Structure 1
Amino acid sequence: LCGKLDEVIYEEVVSYENSAEELPQGMDAQDVVRKVKYREIQRIRLNPAEAKYGCQIPKGAWHTVEVFEPSVIFEAKDGAYQK
């Protein structure tokens, strides 16, 4: 493998807001708006030159990759591929 990149892991933060003051006249004030944000909880630098070749992503975690130089990425998962 080659290249330098960060694997960034996020947690989902859900909040609920009562939007009564924003509702048009006649709508039920019980309407609630669900808001979802994502907060970074971990950043892992992968760099073969520093012998950091991979990492374990927790099952169900939101994640992304930030690439700093041309990279080759190999992803493997437990078990058989299922559609």
Structure 2
Amino acid sequence: MANHDTETTEKLEKFGKRLKELRKAKGYENYEQFAFKNNISRSQYGRYEKGQDIRFSSICKVLKALDVTFEEFFKGFD
């Protein structure tokens, strides 16, 4: 995992928790099923939910798979 300042690390963790929350709301009990069905690397998606680094292009792909807009996803983030 890359070295991040505390604020960045906290935001990545919050990002991962939000992904997990939305995935479960879509009916996927585990991340592997979601990743497989949406053609996302299972190991990489697992890292996203753990709050590890994610590229912008990957964010776009995941949010599309969750059928969530950027506005919906980031509502409440500060």
Larger Rg: 1
Q: Which has the higher helix share?
A: 2
TM-score under structure 1 length normalisation: 0.21
Q: Which has the higher strand share?
A: 1
